[in-house]
Structure 1
Amino acid sequence: MTDGGVIGDDRPVAVIVDGYSTGAALAPEFARRGWACIHVSSRPDIDPVYQAVHRPETYRAGITHRGDLAETLTVLASFHPRAVLPGAEIGVELADALAEGLGFAGNGTALSAARRDKFLMARAVARAGLATAPQFRAGDAVAARDWARDQGRWPVVVKPLNSAGTDGVTICQTLDQLDQAFARIHGKRNRLGLINDDVLIQGFLQGRQYFINTISLAGRHLVAEIWVESKRQVAEAAFINDLEMLLPADGPVQALLADYTMAVLDALGISHGPAHTEVMLTDAGPVLIETAARLMGTVEQRAVMAALGETQVTLTVDACADPDGFMARLDRAAADLPYRMQGHLWCVALISGQAGRITSHQGLSRLERLASYVSRINIAPIGSMLAPTVDFFSSPGVVYLLHEDQAVLAADYACIRAWERDGLLFDVVPVPAG
């Protein structure tokens, strides 16, 4: 069960459950503060998408959870840990159970399911008196059609109850489209490795989408970042990521979003650790899309650090390693602003219109000549297959732009999209069918 360790290491210990995606940055940050980390894989069969960013060398030891909570708790107790955190979405529920089993102040397990199952999530938030989209949990296509017909308002959104990264999310304008979307999801395995026994159908929210990253300690919440998001709709899916822009902390919209988000966190029992909340700002006010009780995924730490001087990762570690200092930070944020920007940061999701095997990254050097270019992450490797982007997982990479002048950012963004249209970023060769 244990993959390795270091004898005689007396540093304080944090447990990271599924340290993938942005969660991979937690262990190095803890190490910088003089802590060691134990990694727990929530299951033996972790998706290769997550495994690709796993950094086992940053952990004191690695443990694989095989379904026996008592066994995993016994092994972890031998390391005398002081904190448990989820690193990625798939580890949220196990992190709750481990923290509770070890006797730590955390989010508890009473609302764990509501922090993962989107239907239960919206129901818990609605019960707290907060706005949510109309929704229905369908176990068969007939029930899905009946609910949509009774609603009488199109479009509707169809999605897995428990997945991530726009996996399977489809906007449907007709009953036939609803049937097709339901069939693509129901009974299939989603991106988190779970079988979709039921399918979630929700009313379509019209407005501007935002997401709010937070860190909580003892029921108090710090807003780390507020972003406004732009997406594109594509055929046979819903929306794909396009552009995310970091917003200043101050402003009436930001205040409205922060207040709503904190109420959502309270409704879901998120009192400790990071969270990533997506909200649609409609004409009637903010409405929850979903909340994840973990770090925002796919974030390039250096870019956010350059813009803010801190990141959700560094603040999460602050809350664990120096809770008194973090409480003082919460007090300062209540009297002033939770964060200050040192430049405008844009996050551009690459959108592929090409199909074939990648033979060269030479075209990506164009990005480095942009005036606002900072970095890029998750670039599809040479030799991999490039396909038209239909969701988060099929984007061939992410580019970060930072500049004081938003006109420069807009011009550089336009260059990236033009290079994509002309096929100048990736060299590919067609692969014969079959």
Structure 2
Amino acid sequence: MTGRPSRPDVRPVAVVVDAYSTGAALAPAFAAAGWRTVHVSSSPVVPEPYRASFRPGDFIGLIAHDGDLRRTLNALLPHAPVVVLPGAECGVELADRLAAGLGLPGNGTELSRARRDKFLMGQVVAASGLTAAPQHVTDNPADAVAWAVARGDWPVVVKPLDSAGTDGVTFCHDAVAVDRAFRALHGRPNRLGSVNDRLLVQGFLRGRQYFVNTVSLNGRHLIAEIWAESKREVADAAFINDLEMLMPRAGAVQDALAAYTSAVLDALGIAYGPAHTELMLTADGPVLIETAARLMGTVEQQAVRRSLGVTQADLAVQAVTDPAGFLSRLDQPYRMAAEIWCVALISEHEGIITGRSGFARIEGLASYASSIAVAGPGVRLRPTIDYFSSPGVVYLVHEDAAVLAADYARIRAWEREGAIFDLAPASGPG
């Protein structure tokens, strides 16, 4: 007796390049829509900060890009993909090249580098007539110091051209600090694996910081979320993440941020897919800090769905799998069922984590919703100086802002007391 031949799987295929951090949410969202996904890694080795978030079992195929674009394109052709999306920052440029090479919709390659290189990004935005931060790029510490001194407006910011997560971002209040920051970063690999052969020096932007998450289709931009940010300055480093608060869509500030963000996306050629844009609302209006042509990083999907019913990753997938449904959202601004406070844990202590017995106190808070990337036993805890050294993120969701404020204050008090993580002394530099 002969069995029936199996039917070919005709479900459409999407490609995700570097499905790390929040990009890991794309494959499950495509699966929920009845699609399959193939993963392409932009380098043979997954960058260390992203290894824990990568879920290879979500994909029907795994392809490692070795630098040969034609070889990677040929490996994709049997899957007949219909879309290519970046999952994390390190995959943005390769996603552009693959989409173009396969003849698929995308953002093109002409401005690809400007969507990664923060200096070129600022130049393109300024050339379009939008307000941009004063900036200078150099491979020479003396040149960096000379530019900062000539401006005479302190502090200035020294940072890598193409990293992420506040990696290497340093606020400098004098020439000595500029020289020290430059020498500490120059010639060294950043968190995404690129070597800092040149560095960016920017004028400091004064005001309130926000970020706007979007998804675009055919050059039309949907405002998925607008968040207000609170940061804390760290000596000889940068402002570290403290608190992010989801804002209602309606409001004069939100309208100004949305309009400026849409103009930035147009200037940078972001017509398809998700983007995460960081802005400073100054006395003269919004000014770009940077835009990333990918999902916002470090997002707990269920917490956001509790408030909005949908996440940026969900919307990025809907734009591909149900474009008519996506476009219908353009005239329906998002509404919040509850407020969300995203709390970045901040360490003031150092040692080897042996347990996190105090974390149960956080989980017992009235507004506690979820947490992600919380450091566990065996991890060396250090004082937080950037996104990557934060020991975790806690999402608080509640209808009452007073409850959120009280719970946030409790978390910060427990941190100061060292009451969240159990620590053993650390030996050696480690």
- TM-score, normalization: structure 2? 0.97
- Map of 1:318 onto structure 2: 318
Residue in structure 1 matched with residue 3 of structure 2 by the alignment: none
Unmatched runs of 5 consecutive residues or more in structure 1: 1-5
Provide the rounded CA distance (Å) in 2 between the counterparts of 1:377 and 1:421.
20
User: What letter matches 1:31 in structure 2?
Assistant: A
Query: 1:108 is matched with which residue?
Result: 108
Structure 2, unpaired ranges of 5+: 1-5
Q: Scaled by the length of structure 1, what TM-score is found? A: 0.96
Q: Which residue of 2 aligns with 1:3?
A: none
The code of the aligned residue for 2:23 comes to G
**Is 1:412 aligned with 2:374?**
no
Residue 339 (structure 1) shift:
0.3
* Aligned-residue offset at 1:146: 1.3
Runs of 4 or more, structure 1, over 2 Å off, are 6-10
Partner of 2:386: 391
Letter in 2 for 1:390: I
Q: Which of 348, 358, 372 is 2:353 aligned to?
A: 358
> Equivalents in 2 of 1:170, 1:431: separation in Å?
26
Q: Distance in 1 between matches of 2:135 and 2:316?
A: 33
Partner of 1:270: 270
- Write the mapping of 1:29-178 to structure 2, written as runs, cut at 5 A: 29-178=29-178
Q: CA RMSD in A?
A: 1.1
Higher mean C-alpha displacement, 47-56 vs 415-424? 47-56
Q: What is the identity, as a one-letter code, of the residue corresponding to 1:386?
A: L
**Residues 168-207 of structure 1: matches in 2 within 5 Å?**
168-207=168-207
CA distance in 2 between counterparts of 1:357 and 1:402 reads: 30
Q: Return the alpha-carbon distance in structure 2 between the equivalents of residues 431 and 7 of structure 1.
A: 58
Preserved contact between residue 49 and residue 191 of structure 2 (Cα < 8 Å): no
State the distance in 2 between where 1:237 and 1:423 align: 22
1:8 shift after superposition: 4.0
Distance 2:357 2:286 in 1: 43
Secondary structure in 1 matching 2:358: helix
Give deviations 1:323-342, integer Å, cap 9, x for gaps.
12212222x23xxxx20000
- TM superposition shift of 1:291: 0.1
Structure 2 residue aligned with 1:425: 420
- Sequence identity, in percent? 62
After superposition, give the CA deviation of every residue in 1:321-363 in whole Å (9 maximum; x if it has no partner): 0112212222x23xxxx20000110000000011111001211
Cα distance in 2 for residues equivalent to 1:223 and 1:372: 26
The one-letter code matched in structure 1 to 2:132 is: T
- CA drift of 1:10 comes to 2.4
CA contact (8 A) 2:172 2:236 kept: no
Tell me the equivalent position of 1:296. 296
1:261 aligns with 2:261: yes
Give the drift of 1:433.
2.6
Give the match for residue 279 of structure 2: 279
Residue 173 of structure 1 aligns to which amino acid in structure 2? H
Per-residue CA deviations over 1:80-125 (Å, capped at 9, x if unaligned) read: 0011000000000000000011111210000000000000000000
Separation in 2, partners of 1:20, 1:9: 26
Q: Distance in 1 between matches of 2:57 and 2:405?
A: 39
In structure 2, the CA distance between the partners of 1:245 and 1:238, relative to structure 1 (3 Å rule), is same
Secondary structure, counterpart of 1:371 in structure 2: coil
Instruction: Name the SS of the counterpart of 1:366 in structure 2.
Output: helix
Deviation at residue 166 of structure 1 after TM alignment: 0.3
Q: Secondary structure at the match of 1:50?
A: helix
Aligned-partner SS, 1:122: helix
